[in-house]
Homo-oligomer: A and B are copies of this chain.
């Protein structure tokens, strides 16, 4: 058996005080990748937490510019080791090297790190607010204690706990990160952490700013997110494991930001189908099957109104699902869980149109799957029919009329996204006005005439939404600078002497670039001199 991989604690790669071990699988071959990783003990996790708390204090003395340089240097180092990182990510995830990992996900990852660096440098994410009359000033500032990041299985780079969105946001906001690798790509995570550590040393940040463990049992995980010395947690992953962590964090009053599950309703209004049904069928099939459907924003449920156009649309989509190549799934767990979910949807009354069985692709795979159910049946079992089937599967819901479509919208749970397709001539307008306001409040991001799978790293992005999509409808996991504010506390300074204020709140704008709300007006200027 291969030697146990070391953990990264306090700036050192060292043997784990492990409570067990695990070996990841290559999902394309169903064979072990040959590496063995430790399950960390409670003792080890307690040490990681204490070290992070010290780093959290040390980081207070580190200027934002140094954090920015770290993020940029880290991005450069990832690019320099690109081939090795992408190759291991492919072996561990089964995701294609090109275009996905090399041309899409890696550039997105380094781009995100650089955007976070810019946000740290400008500091406008802190929303500095100055009330000259009351003598009170406020801004957001890093938390006390490390930020724990649990990355998901489906983005080994762009949401990796050591290079992804939560990581970049936490560091840019001034927090050290305790990374818990996703168990499906621990080797990729280790490579990234090696580069992070080197970049920390090059830019003079506390070496304990980034620490890495690979796995814990549930009980140790609960201790991790609820520990008094931990600042907050970012979690992206399965609903079940997420809720176990949420309960522990909530009970301790520790913020936890979760991205749990989402089926992303797409409403195809009749006029749109009449106008361009074939085109939409293509868009939908592409969005649903890209990456074997393993996206948080995969269109998992489509609402249609009964009619000829709908039947034509369904026929076209079934054809496309049958013809499209079947992708490799991220692992045996995903394959198993997809089979279970599809079976559960059938048990709840959905009818299989195509697919429904494992296989059809290289390694772990499941045939492209489409199901349909009547609106009446959906309303009778709306909870069971809204369970996420993570992967290349989707459920079509056929409403018998507009009133039923409205009732179905009202029955939707919280989701990351919701999309509406309408005709360009305006024939769908009345129905849009009836359904959109309902859908709007169920989802974080509303799309029109567009499928949900692309998630731009934009300041206006909301990759969040009402429970159970996430744990709080006011925060986004993607989008800089707003994602930084998840890992921050609001700090007010009342009558505090000028030289005791942080640079963001002093009379003089520290960079001339920082946006501040002074007496109700946003400005990049200095405080006006007192008259």
Contact = CB atoms under 8 A, between A and B. Distances in A.
A464 B490 contact: yes
Per assembly, the copies of the chain total 2
Interface stretch (A7-15, A368-376, A436-444): A436-444
Interface in A442-479: 442, 444-450, 456, 458-462, 464-468, 471-476, 479
A465 B143 CA distance: 11
B461 A138 contact: yes
Contacts of A143: 441, 473
Contacts of A129: 459-460, 482
B140 A60 contact: no
A137 interface: yes
Contacts of A27: none
A246 interface: yes
A275 interface: no
B497 A134 contact: no
A247 B251 contact: yes
Given A460-B131, A462-B138, A473-B489, A57 B437 contact: yes
A466 B490 contact: no
Contacts of A521: 515
A322 interface: no
Contacts of A507: none
Contacts of A479: 138
Nearest to A492: B462
A136 interface: yes
Given A57-B437, A456-B136, A458-B136, A494 B252 contact: no
Given A140-B474, A144-B441, A494 B447 contact: yes
A255 interface: yes
Given A253-B471, A468-B253, A136 B446 contact: no
Given A255-B474, A467-B254, A494 B131 contact: no
Contacts of A137: 460
A262 to B, nearest CB: 13
Interface residues of A, number: 74
A298 to B, nearest CB: 16
Interface in A234-250: 246-247, 250
A73 interface: no
Contact of A444 (B447, B474, B491): B491
B500 A136 contact: no
A130 interface: yes
A19 interface: no
Nearest to A455: B494
A488 interface: yes
A517 interface: yes
9 tightest A-B CB contacts, nearest first: A253-B467, A522-B522, A462-B492, A473-B489, A250-B250, A144-B441, A445-B492, A136-B460, A138-B460
18 contacts: A130-B460, A134-B458, A134-B460, A136-B461, A138-B459, A138-B479, A141-B441, A253-B466, A253-B471, A436-B500, A444-B491, A446-B492, A446-B494, A447-B495, A448-B500, A473-B490, A474-B490, A476-B490
